[in-house]
């Protein structure tokens, strides 16, 4: 069943076209990767889907409802949550209080919000940091707090914006396992944009590729990364030409 449907989404900032007629779907049981070089329009597309930017044209349907004109708060209340490249946590709050911000999307009770936050933190393996301040945590733990805050809102779909950035190889492996658990055990669909291709390859059922705001490829991860147009977008025409000359493409 289709959970998210993006229809010909275009977003312009003055004369700059950040996204141009981008269309794709995400099923309720899918993990979909969104990749592309810097400046491809990935984060802008996330912002359009999540209600942070109003579309220039096109539409976004989530769980059967047209959310094109809704605000980010209204979209989140429907079950679509997102993380950011830089987690904007409050330095004045303890970790559990930061996670409770997500819980308050579903309840106005402080006690209930705290209970949900602690349960999610236990699931993500960061319950022991509940009383600490965000500034006391290493980057990998801060990433998990960001995930916990989003997960505490009880989403049906999580948009993950470069959650692997700044992590070492071991931390990446742990994050991949964690995201697989979020998808498998909690039934949350995932749409992730990521420069760590190892994560995309291991997690995604399908991969969508953007370049200069346009979708240039879509398909299974192993096939997409071999697509000459995708290789060209990442590595340039000279690389593709050299591969052909060497008989590798």
**pLDDT tens-digit readout, 51-93:** 999 999 999 999 999 999 999 999 999 999 999 876 655 567 8
Verify that 119 and 170 share a domain, yes or no: no
Verify that 113 and 102 share a domain, yes or no: yes
Confidence at 194, pLDDT banded by 50, 70, 90 = confident
- The CA-atom distances, in angstroms, between 161 and each of 46, 190, 233 are 8, 11, 20
Residue 125 has pLDDT above 80, yes or no: yes
What's the angle, vertex CA 146, arms to CA 234 and CA 139, rounded to 5? 70
pLDDT of 249? 47
Does 85 fall in a domain? no
pLDDT of 26? 98
Mean pLDDT of the chain: 90
Verify that 165 and 64 share a domain, yes or no: yes
From 154, 172, 191, the end of a domain falls on 154
Does 236 fall in a domain? no
pLDDT of 216? 95
Return d(Cα 67, Cα 75) in angstroms, integer.
7
What pTM was computed for the model? 0.90
- By three-state DSSP, how is residue 108 classified? coil
pLDDT of 235? 57
Return d(Cα 90, Cα 26) in angstroms, integer.
32
Verify that 160 and 148 share a domain, yes or no: no
Return d(Cα 171, Cα 181) in angstroms, integer.
15
Does 188 fall in a domain? yes
From 106, 121, 154, the end of a domain falls on 154
Verify that 120 and 24 share a domain, yes or no: no
Range of the domain at 138: 90-154
Return d(Cα 54, Cα 97) in angstroms, integer.
30
Verify that 120 and 148 share a domain, yes or no: yes
List the alpha helices (DSSP H) in the chain: 42-49, 72-77, 95-103, 110-123, 139-151, 169-186, 197-203, 221-224, 228-235, 237-245
Top pLDDT among 190 and 140 is at: 190
Verify that 54 and 20 share a domain, yes or no: yes
Return d(Cα 82, Cα 159) in angstroms, integer.
4
Pairing of strands 2-13, 80-82: unpaired
Burial class (CB within 10 angstroms; exposed 0-12, middle 13-18, buried 19+) of 233: buried
How many domains in the chain?
2
Q: What is the DSSP secondary structure assignment for residue 11, as one 8-state letter? A: E
Q: For the residues of 184-248, what is the DSSP string, one character each?
A: HHH--EEEEE-S-HHHHHHH-SEEEEEETTEEEEEE-HHHHTT-HHHHHHHH-HHHHHHHHHTT-
Verify that 68 and 166 share a domain, yes or no: yes
Q: Which of 125, 135, 122 is nearest to 95 (CA)?
A: 135
Q: Which of 187, 160, 174 is nearest to 3 (CA)?
A: 187
b/e code 161-197 from CB counts within 10 Å (16+ = b): bbbbeebeeebbebbbebbeebbeeeebbbbbbbebe
């Amino acid at each position: 069943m289709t959970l998210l449907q993006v229809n010909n989404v275009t977003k312009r900032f003055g004369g700059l076209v950040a996204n141009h007629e981008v269309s794709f779907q995400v099923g309720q049981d899918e993990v979909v990767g969104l990749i592309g070089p810097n400046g491809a329009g990935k984060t802008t597309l996330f912002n359009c889907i999540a209600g942070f930017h109003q579309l220039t044209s096109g539409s976004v349907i989530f769980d059967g409802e047209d959310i094109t004109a809704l605000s980010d708060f209204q979209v989140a209340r429907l079950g679509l949550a997102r993380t950011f490249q830089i987690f904007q946590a409050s330095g004045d709050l303890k970790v559990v209080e930061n996670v409770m911000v997500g819980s308050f999307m579903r309840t106005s009770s402080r006690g209930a919000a705290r209970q949900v936050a602690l349960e999610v933190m236990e699931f993500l393996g960061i319950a022991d940091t509940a009383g600490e301040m965000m500034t006391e945590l290493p980057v990998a733990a801060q990433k998990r707090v960001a995930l916990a805050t989003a997960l505490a809102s009880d989403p049906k779909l999580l948009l993950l914006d470069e959650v692997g950035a700044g992590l070492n190889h071991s931390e990446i492996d742990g994050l991949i396992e964690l995201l697989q658990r979020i998808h498998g055990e909690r039934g949350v669909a995932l749409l992730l944009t990521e420069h760590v291709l190892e994560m995309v390859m291991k997690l995604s059922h399908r991969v969508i590729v953007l370049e200069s705001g346009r979708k240039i490829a879509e398909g299974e991860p192993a096939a997409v990364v071999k697509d000459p147009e995708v290789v060209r977008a990442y590595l340039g025409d000279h690389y593709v030409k050299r591969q052909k000359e060497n008989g590798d493409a």
